[in-house]
């Protein structure tokens, strides 16, 4: 079987976890380069021990590596600002980019919602961890009834929020809210992130609230449950914490102030999720990072299959 050669830029937690997932889980992708800027980083040291070629000279170093000629897909697990520079350097090459930062240069991709639409894009964006966890739910509700307003709260352990995550907090909320509308289909949306300092660390939790009009509530619940099962096929730790909740909105509810004049919400749909990590490299409580690397792996494998179709 011929494998598609890939590189990972970013030797921090997310990049290292993704590298290990490629090595352990994928029959279609092969690691050909691990790229960082700190020679002493655990990611680069671990890559060397695993026999993966490395460079500590960033994308400039990657372009000079003899292995680069065989690489078809590059995963960028750096930061929003770094991705802008990395994408510019890689633009003249033939590689496809999978962006795990909130830079959002390319189209937003959430695997069970819209991956098939963007397999020919040169640079796809994985939104954010909160987006990957909650956009599928908003899309599932939207498949049954228009979502007049969506609000999500992503609560993650502060221990799982490294320098890159903390530097991108503003981009997180902006990018997630926009993707809830563009991909999830909500008319309006808001995203909130909470860094929980609890010790011992808590597993990632996500709350999704959707305001909808008249709808078949049983159909809404079936759609949500089906979507949870779809995400769990590539993120095994993704699950509901309780049954889907419905609350009827009365005429005096402040919820009506969250939608514009063209919408008349009747129901609030609330979905409570938990995301436990697979602990390939990161601790199990870091489900926020695991869902990003798991989704990126799913995208990479689908891009690999698409590349195979082009060859045939």
Residue ranges of the binding site for NAD(+): 11-14, 160-168, 288
Question: How far is Cα 68 from Cα 49, in angstroms, rounded to an integer?
Answer: 20
Question: At a CB cut-off of 8 Å and minimum separation 6, what does 40 contact?
Answer: none
**Residue of 136, 5, 153 lying closest to 66 (CA atoms):** 5
CB 42 within 8 A of CB 17: no
Six-digit token string for 114 = 């819209």
CA distance 179 to 275: 20
- 52, 104, 129, 147: which is the annotated catalytic residue? 129
Known binding residues: 11-14, 160-168, 288
Q: Which two tokens stand for residue 262?
A: 């063209």
Asked if residues 183 and 110 have their Cβ atoms less than 8 Å apart, the reply is yes
User: Buried b / exposed e across 106-140, counting CB within 10 Å, b at 16+?
Assistant: bebbbbbbbbeebbeeebbbbbbbbbbbbbbbbbb
Q: Is 129 a catalytic residue?
A: yes
Q: Please count the other Cβ atoms lying within 10 Å of the Cβ belonging to residue 48.
A: 12
Q: What residues act catalytically?
A: 129
């Amino acid at each position: 079987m011929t494998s598609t050669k890939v590189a990972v830029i970013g030797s921090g937690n997310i990049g290292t976890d993704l590298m290990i997932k490629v090595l352990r889980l994928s029959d279609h992708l092969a690691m050909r380069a691990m790229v960082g800027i700190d020679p002493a980083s655990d990611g680069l040291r671990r890559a060397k021990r695993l026999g993966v070629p490395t460079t500590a000279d960033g994308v400039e170093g990657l372009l000079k590596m003899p292995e680069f000629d065989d690489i078809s897909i590059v995963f960028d697990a750096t930061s929003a600002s770094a991705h802008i520079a990395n994408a510019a350097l890689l633009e003249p090459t033939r590689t496809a980019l999978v962006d795990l930062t909130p830079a959002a240069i390319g189209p937003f991709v959430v695997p069970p919602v819209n991956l098939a639409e963007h397999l020919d894009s040169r640079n796809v964006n994985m939104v954010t961890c909160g987006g990957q966890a909650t956009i599928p739910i908003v899309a599932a509700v939207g498949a049954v009834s228009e979502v007049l307003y969506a609000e999500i709260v992503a609560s993650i352990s502060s221990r799982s929020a490294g320098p890159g995550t903390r530097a991108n907090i503003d981009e997180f909320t902006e990018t997630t809210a926009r993707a809830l509308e563009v991909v999830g289909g909500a008319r309006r949306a808001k995203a909130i992130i909470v860094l929980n300092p609890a010790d011992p660390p808590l597993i990632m939790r996500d709350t999704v609230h959707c305001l909808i009009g008249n709808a078949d509530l049983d159909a809404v619940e079936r759609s949500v449950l089906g979507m949870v099962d779809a995400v769990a096929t590539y993120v095994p730790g993704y699950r509901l914490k309780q049954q889907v909740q419905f609350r009827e909105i009365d005429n005096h509810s402040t919820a009506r102030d969250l939608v514009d004049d063209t919408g008349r919400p009747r129901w609030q749909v609330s979905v409570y999720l938990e995301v436990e990590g697979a602990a390939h490299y990161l601790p199990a409580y870091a489900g926020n990072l695991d869902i990003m690397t798991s989704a990126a792996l799913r995208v990479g494998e689908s891009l690999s299959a698409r590349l195979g179709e082009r060859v045939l």
